[in-house]
Structure 1
Amino acid sequence: MDSEANETRTIDTGTAGPTGTIGTGPAVDTTGTGPAVNATGTGPAVDTTESGPAADRTEDLRHLRQLVARARHVVFDFDGPVCFLFPGSSAERVARDRAEWLREHGLHGLLMEEDRGHPDPYLVLSAVAGRHPGSDLVAELEERLTRQELAEVPRAWPTPYADVLVRTWTALGARLAIATDTSDRPVLSYLDSRGLTGCFAPHVYGRTPVPDLRLPGPHPHAVRRALNALGAAAGTSLVIGDTPADFAAAREAGTAFVGYAPNERGERRLLEAGVPRRHLVSSLDVLLRAVREG
Structure 2
Amino acid sequence: MAEEAETEIGKLQEMTARARVVLWDFDGPICGLFASYPAEQVAYGLVDWLEGQGLRGLLTDGERESLDPQAVLRAVDRRHPRSDLALELEEQLTQEELRAAKSAMPTAYADPLMHTWSAVGARLAITANNSPVVAKSYLENRGLLSRFAPHVYGRTRKLHLLKPDPHCLNRALRAMDAAAQDALMIGDADTDFLAAQAAGVPFLGYARNQRKRKCLREAGATAIVDSLEPVLRVVRTMGGLK
Pair in the same fold by TM > 0.5: yes
> Equivalent residues in 2 for 1:134-173 (5 A)?
134-173=82-121
Rounded Cα–Cα distance in structure 1 between residues aligned with 2:7 and 2:103: 39
Greater Rg, structure 1 or structure 2?
1
Q: Which residue of 2 aligns with 1:287?
A: 231
Equivalent of 1:257 in 203, 227, 232: 203
Equivalent of 1:122 in 57, 61, 70: 70
The answer to which structure has the higher helix fraction is 2
Q: Which residue of 2 aligns with 1:175?
A: 123
Q: Contact 1:179/1:218 (CA < 8 Å) preserved in 2?
A: no
Taking structure 1 as the reference length, the TM-score comes to 0.78
Query: CA 1:214–1:113 in structure 2 vs 1: closer, same or farther (change >3 Å)?
Result: farther
Deviations 1:223-265 (A, max 9, x none): 0110111111122110000011111111111111100011111
Q: Which amino acid in 2 is paired with 1:284?
A: L
Deviations 1:75-103 (A, max 9, x none): 00000011111126611111111111111
Query: CA 1:67–1:254 in structure 2 vs 1: closer, same or farther (change >3 Å)?
Result: same
* Cα drift, residue 218 of structure 1: 5.6
> Equivalent residues in 2 for 1:201-280 (5 A)?
201-208=149-156, 211=158, 213-214=159-160, 216-217=162-163, 219-276=165-222, 279-280=223-224
Q: Which residue of 1 aligns with 2:16?
A: 68
Large movers: runs of 4+ above 6 Å: none
Taking structure 2 as the reference length, the TM-score comes to 0.94
Q: Contact 2:24/2:187 (CA < 8 Å) preserved in 1?
A: yes
Number of residues of Structure 1 aligned to a counterpart in Structure 2: 238
SS in 2 for 1:231: coil
Q: Which amino acid in 1 is paired with 2:87?
A: A
Q: Which amino acid in 2 is paired with 1:292?
A: R
Identity of aligned residues (%): 49
Q: Contact 1:122/1:216 (CA < 8 Å) preserved in 2?
A: no
- Cα RMSD (Å) of the superposition? 1.3
User: Structure 2: which 5+ runs fail to align?
Assistant: none
Deviations 1:183-205 (A, max 9, x none): 11111000011000000010000
Q: Which amino acid in 2 is paired with 1:58?
A: E
Rounded Cα–Cα distance in structure 1 between residues aligned with 2:23 and 2:84: 31
